[in-house]
A and B are shown apart, each in its own frame.
Chain A
Amino acid sequence: MDEAFEKRLPKPEDLHAMTEECLKAAFAGESQAAEKYLVFAEQAEEEGFPNIATLFRAISFAETRHARNHLRVMKGINSTAENLAAAFAGESFEIDEMYPAYGEIAKAQSNAQASRSIKYAVKAEMDHKWMYGEAREKALDGKDIAAQPVSVCLICGHTVIGDVPDKCPVCAAAKENYKTF
């Protein structure tokens, strides 16, 4: 990425409180639009509209650029060690606070599918928290993590470094349902 390219990005800025509130909400909106359009792309493919699927993926990418711009202005993009610390903190909040509270209410309201969606997420966030913690230690020493494959269950998001299990331990999906990075 050359300098001229970098220069066109909106810069980190000291924000007034209300402007910051606005950008936070815009970041939330763009992030959700990007994710929804990826799901809509899969649906379009299933219905036999491959070009609409491509369109949804392209516009999802555009929303990702907006999300990144807003995040950058809010000073949310920093060094890798700092980003790993932020990621670790986010996962910890979801594990310790958010999902246990949401899980309890879904149980009280007898919402089985919501409970399942919450359980899948909280289990995977535990994998992520651990991985981010290890990676942060390395990054603080100026070291990268090892070059092992990272694989993700496409049903529940279960995440493993190294070999893929025969069956997902969280949702029991078969090995073929893992995507490897």
Chain B
Amino acid sequence: MAEAFKNTPPAPEDKGAMTAQNIAAALAGESQASQKYLAFADVADADGYPNVARLFRAVAYAESTHARNHLSVLGGIGTTTENLKAAWGGETFEITEMYPAYDAVAKLQENESAQTSIRYALKAEVDHQGIYDSTLKGVEGEKDLGGEAVRVCPICGHTVIGDAPDECPQCGTAGSFFKEF
């Protein structure tokens, strides 16, 4: 065989309802594990364990491959146009339904830190919804996004296309801390 062996992630399939539910739950579990390990890696770095930090980042990556595999089986990976629509839909749900409801509960129960965490997220999801919307319009005309940098506040997730502001409008973090993509 001239071509090198090439493996592929598990493919989409028609599933039994219980299996579909389980794979969806496994996608949630793997995604959360991956995110926890990334946060734990930062702590390990701060605690002076650089090799444990590296282990956490490697295992976070492994959980990401599992999340991708489960998402593939669920048929959740489409074309970029479909993916942008799905992303827009997710952000819209969080903005109009999820975070307002959670915020009302956190207010009622006077949990201040929870309100801050919810507000940071909600404000950034509004940025994302707008950016996905204009990007989707471009792709429908078969155009890529412009080549400007995308910058993200490492505290609250505020997202801008182009230059970082002097100060994050949501949380006051200096623009020099923004991470550039």
Is the pair A57, B139 in contact by a Cβ cutoff of 8 Å?
A: no
CB-contact partner of A43 in B83, B146, B161, under 8 A:
B83
Given known A-B contacts A31-B28, A135-B55, A111 and B16 have beta carbons under 8 A apart: yes
Q: Which residue of B lies closest to A18 (CB)?
A: B105
CB-CB contacts of A146-171 with B at 8 A, as 1s and 0s?
A: 11101111111111010000001001
Q: How far is the CB of B136 from chain A (nearest CB, A)?
A: 10
A37 touches B87 (CB 8 A): yes
Minimum Cβ distance to chain A for residue B19 (Å): 5
Residues of chain B contacted by A30 (CB below 8 angstroms): 35, 121
Question: What count of chain A residues pass the 8 Å CB interface test?
Answer: 119
Q: Which of A10, A58, A109 contacts B15 (CB 8 A)?
A: A109
* Interchain CA distance A61-B38 in the complex, whole Å: 11
Residue total for B at the interface (Cβ-Cβ under 8 A): 115
Given contact pairs A51-B147, A135-B52, A145-B55, A128 touches B67 in the complex (Cβ within 8 A): no
Interface of A is mostly: helix
Q: Which residues on the A side are within 8 Å of B76 (C-beta)?
A: 36
**B152 near A52: Cβ-Cβ < 8 Å:** no
Contact B66 A77 (CB under 8 A): no
Could you tell me which residues of chain B, from 5 to 22, have a CB within 8 Å of some CB in chain A?
A: 5-13, 15-16, 18-19, 22
Separation of A56 and B58 alpha carbons in the complex (Å): 21
Give CA–CA (A1, B154) in the complex, Å: 11
Instruction: Choose among B57, B79, B114 the residue that contacts A47 (Cβ–Cβ < 8 A).
Output: B79
Contact A181 B31 (CB under 8 A): no
* CB-defined contacts of B158 to chain A, threshold 8 Å: 62
Closest CB of chain A to B120's CB: distance in Å?
6
Enumerate chain A interface residues (CB-CB to B < 8 A).
Answer: 1, 5, 8-13, 15-16, 18-19, 22-23, 25-40, 43-44, 47-52, 54-59, 61-73, 76-80, 83-84, 86-87, 90, 94, 98-99, 101-102, 105-106, 108-114, 116-118, 120-121, 124, 127-128, 131-132, 135, 138-139, 144-148, 150-159, 161, 168, 171-174, 176-177, 179, 181
Q: 14 pairs across A/B with beta carbons < 8 Å?
A: A31-B31, A35-B34, A64-B35, A69-B156, A73-B116, A83-B40, A90-B33, A98-B25, A98-B29, A109-B15, A120-B10, A132-B59, A150-B54, A181-B61
10 pairs of A and B residues whose beta carbons are closest in the complex: A109-B16, A62-B157, A157-B62, A58-B181, A58-B150, A13-B113, A22-B102, A16-B109, A150-B58, A181-B58
